[in-house]
Amino acid sequence: MAIEVRIPTILRSYTGGAKVVEGAGDTLADLLNDLDSRHGGLRGRLITEAGTLHRFVNVYVNDEDVRFLGALDAKLSDGDSVTILPAVAGGAFGFAAAAAISSHSVSSQSAVAAVARDAVAVR
């Protein structure tokens, strides 16, 4: 089963620079596991330790938000198109800040304080 997956710029280092990759799976969770087997580390940027989609990641199946389709249990079919997008929010750095924070062993309180401090400095 071939499913086309569009990769945002910030995650293309995991796909060798590819904007679009193909994967397989009956559900979004299966697809992400398949993609991680081909592009190691990609799943870890999308899924929390609790096994849910990160808040700062939006995933669409055929232009429908997966949060309304069952999240990781969203059913997929051959020929579907999956788009991964970093969430856009007012404030500092969004996806990049969260990725940077998760890659360092920093307490969440000090990380939030640092991002808030940097956001104020940017204004």
d(CA 40, CA 94): 23
* pLDDT-based confidence at residue 73 (cuts at 50, 70, 90): very high
76-117 confidence digits (pLDDT tens): 999 999 999 988 765 555 555 555 555 554 444 555 555 555
The verdict on 115 and 65 lying in the same domain is: no
Provide the CATH number for the domain around residue 41. 3.10.20.30
Domain residues for the domain of 102 are 89-123
The verdict on 33 and 23 lying in the same domain is: yes
The residues facing 55 across adjacent strands are none
CB-based burial label for 51 (10 Å; 0-12, 13-18, 19+): exposed
The verdict on 15 and 67 lying in the same domain is: yes
Among all chains, which residue has been given the structure tokens 């051959």? 78
1-23 confidence digits (pLDDT tens): 599 999 999 999 999 999 999 99
Q: How many domains does the chain have?
A: 2
The verdict on 76 and 29 lying in the same domain is: yes
The verdict on 79 and 111 lying in the same domain is: no
- Section 62-84 average pLDDT: 94
- Section 64-86 average pLDDT: 94
Buried b (16+ CB within 10 A) or exposed e, 52-75: ebbebbbbbbeeeebeebeebebe
